[in-house]
Amino acid sequence: MTSYTIIIERGERNYSAYCPDLPGVVAAGETEEETILLMKEAIEFHLEGLREDDLPIPEPTTSARCIEVA
């Protein structure tokens, strides 16, 4: 099992997400939870396509942290 970092952004009417380690893999949903589910499906679909085409699977290198500032 591999873990990829996704970035979730809240818009005026929805949420969107992308995966820095997999350019072009994006999703949008009405809720954060829906967006996470759609991103999981999009990543799995993308990796399946890479495998079918005998292309390398990118290793995850991105991490994210929340920091507090005054």
Q: Distance between CA 54 and CA 58 in Å, rounded?
A: 12
- Is-contact 36 8, C-beta < 8 A? yes
Residue-level pLDDT at 52? 98
Mean pLDDT in residue range 32-38: 98
Structural domain boundaries, residue 20? 1-70
Mean pLDDT in residue range 33-38: 98
CATH of the domain at 41: 3.30.160.250
Domain count for the chain: 1
